[in-house]
Amino acid sequence: MHASIRSGLESTLSDQRLLGRTAVVTGLYYTTLFQWFILTFGWEMFLITAASEPERFSHTIARFADLSVEHAKIWGESDIPFFFCHDDLAITRGLVFEKQWYLRNIFPHYERIFAEIKKAGKPVIFVSDGNYTEIAADILSAGADGLLFDWTFDLDETLGRYGKDKVLIGNADTQVLTFGSMEDVKKEVRRCTDAGQDYPGYIFKCSNDLPHNIPLENIECYFDTFAECRIRR
């Protein structure tokens, strides 16, 4: 396992050396904890087992958390300057489980996973799809230094709560780029960049990335508009 982890880290570092100072290659640890169960058991088996056998499943959670602690230790020892970690804790409508389930089963393990990165003096940036607004503060309390979030978050509210001292990334809506007009794209970019003007930790991003089916004129408009708006006033 350690050899596989180090190989992935070396690939990230190799890409960074290739790009130099033109871009930051973050790397991403995809299976922080919750994601392990989705990928290993599938959604249906995961949800049924976690709900019907909570005590027994808690032991499974702890064993997978041990794997992530080992991963975090190796990441912390590497030259990568921060830890981007991913777990899809929510869907568009909100959390998959009630909040108390996460507080009981996930966040105590996040604390020990993140602690390995914090020992190395590196920031932790947490990534998830879906509307996880309800537990954003708990993720930060567990040790994360920043959040990457999608369009389901209220950007103004999130910036107001965390934007002065946390890294906040995202909120631009991929659907607008894909299905909207060029004027819609301009409005979406300006909505985010205007909101982030007074918050030093805000980084503009289209949270669900830039899929290949975005019309060419829209993607060009996206980058051109951002180039106009990226300088803080």
Q: How far is 196 from 170, CA to CA, in rounded Å?
A: 10
Report CA 144 to chain centroid distance, whole Å.
Answer: 10
pLDDT tens profile 204-214: 999 888 999 99
- Amino acid letter, 69: V
Instruction: Tell me what percent of the residues of the chain surpass a pLDDT of 90.
Output: 89
Question: What are the extents of the domains in the chain?
Answer: 2-149
Q: How far is 134 from 12, CA to CA, in rounded Å?
A: 32
Give the pTM.
Answer: 0.93
Domain 2-149 bears CATH identifier 1.10.760.10:
no
45 is written with which tokens?
Answer: 């088996």
pLDDT tens profile 34-61: 999 999 999 999 999 999 999 999 999 9
pLDDT of residue 1: 62
Exposure pattern of 205-218 as b/e (b: 16+ CB <10 Å)?
bbbbebeeebeeeb
